[in-house]
Amino acid sequence: MKYVIVTGGVMSGLGKGITAASMGRILKNKGYDVTAIKIDPYINIDAGTMSPFQHGEVFVLKDGGEADLDLGNYERFLDIELTREHNITTGKVYQAVINKERRGDYLGKTVQIIPHVTNEIKERLRNVARNSGAEICLVEVGGTVGDIESMPFLEAVRQLHNEEDTEDVVFIHVTLVPMDPQGEQKTKPTQHSVKELRQLGLHPDMIVTRCKKPVLPGTKEKIALFCDVPAKAVISAHDAEDIYMVPQRLENEGAADYLLSKLGLKSRDDIKEWDRMVEKMRSSSGSVDVAVVGKYTDLEDSYLSIRESLKHAGIEVGCTVNTHWLDAEDFEKEPGSTDKLLKYDGILVPGGFGVRGTEGKISAIRYARENNKPYLGLCLGMQTAVIEFARNVLGYDDANSSELASTGHPVIDLLPEQEGVVDMGATMRLGDSFAELTPGSLASKLYGSDVIIERHRHRYEVNPKYIDEMEGAGLKFTGRNKNRMEIAEIPGHRFFFASQFHPEFKSRPNRPSPPFLGFVRAMFEKNKPE
């Protein structure tokens, strides 16, 4: 097994995840099977309990693991499916070590960071890499070199490097090359970052430099001199027009050839699928404007997978999707302000938890339904669509979800088998689950299948008591998992599709999610001249 370890210095948010994913993509383009692991130094067991404002979206994996959003980038760039084991946190590591100590696995020894914690980390890295069946394992160490939280992980990968063959572990360090007011590229932050890394016993084999403009040859030579790497190992990762163009940028910088040589490998292939996708994205003509009505819109990373899924669909349709982030609470404060939605080609209501912003989402959905505006609802976006329909079509003014309010018409409720269970984790539907689609429905046409598997992250369900009445009034449930409603649509509407699952988690640049593709196509067709 070959390991490519990616660390970061100077400051957080430089793009280690995109760098790691892009390196994986160019290795895959050369004919190698690649997997990825994200190390998060926080003490949380996983990202499931974190606010999106804290860490961006929670990305749900096929086995129900709730993980850092970088695992979504790995899945999209590498076109693979990962599991909860591919996200290693301090919480998971320490929990495992403490459980072993309580069982007596350490035979009375004093349990310490070295060797017990570092051994646990190495064991997890090796197990995940081996079980993946891949040839190369990317490992992104979260945080910034010098952070106290990441010290055990950096020590663990140092030991891993010493224990494996020389050509089997390569270190990539991502740093910042800022520019002063005169436009000169400054290397001192990179020098200090690499110095910090070397004090920990780690030596970078490649330095990826983030800069607004291409890093100049003289700057590269200076970094190479002071950081003890060849100049060709200093890679410019200057700002790109789109993240999907980063693999090409790294390839043009010679990253693939140098990385393969350090790993003792040769190129097996030269797959151009990614290049064709990027070229198609560049040549897109026309555009659509979509309003995303959510509650975490101040931080776009809260809806990262939705943004990327809209982009994937736009690439396939041949148009640019301009995403506009609207705060659902604004429609609560000014109920008559939904007229501002007129200028958008479609409306999307994403998932979320809690009552805040819910009434604003319901108002936006009503506007979409009554004005024949293409609508896509995801998770809570389906539940609020059901609530809106019950209120404004069936006439149940107090219709609501029992999760959000006490109501005489709980059209969204716990199913009988869930009642009495108070442990949220025990009743959350997480990860892959199937749905049977109604033949001839919009859902079956979009998917081209009568059975699908999609990822979930929710607890409450559509109340079966109201299904017949709603379907009689025009809201059809065309995707079902036994007594659970998975898809709702309105036949005859330009496009009205809502899912209890999260299709955005399985969308790929070369394989867009069917609901997103149908939604963008409906918006694009709407814009075409009659």
Q: Kindly list the catalytic residues.
A: 379, 502, 504
CA angle 364, 413, 488 (to 5 degrees): 50
DSSP secondary structure string for all residues of 176-226: E--B-TT-PBP-HHHHHHHHHHHHTT---SEEEEEESSPPPHHHHHHHHHH
**Residue 237: is it exposed, middle or buried by C-beta count within 10 angstroms (0-12/13-18/19+)?**
buried
Contact, 199 vs 292, CB < 8 A?
A: no
Dihedral, CA of residue 176, residue 282, residue 33 and residue 14, to nearest 10: 20
CA 327 – CA 364 distance, rounded (Å)? 11
End-to-end Cα distance, the chain: 58
Q: What are phi and psi of 438, to 5 degrees?
A: -75, 120
Contacts of 82 (CB under 8 A, 6+ apart): 35, 36, 61, 62, 65, 67, 71, 74, 75
* Parallel/antiparallel/unpaired status of strands 66-67 and 476-481: unpaired
CA 120 – CA 114 distance, rounded (Å)? 10
Dihedral, CA of residue 522, residue 526, residue 528 and residue 530, to nearest 10: 130
Question: Closest by alpha carbon to 76, among 24, 33, 131?
Answer: 24
Question: Closest by alpha carbon to 479, among 382, 410, 384, 411?
Answer: 382
Q: Is 393 left (phi over 0), alpha (psi -120 to 50) or beta?
A: alpha
* Amino acid at site 307: R
CA angle 359, 361, 367 (to 5 degrees): 105
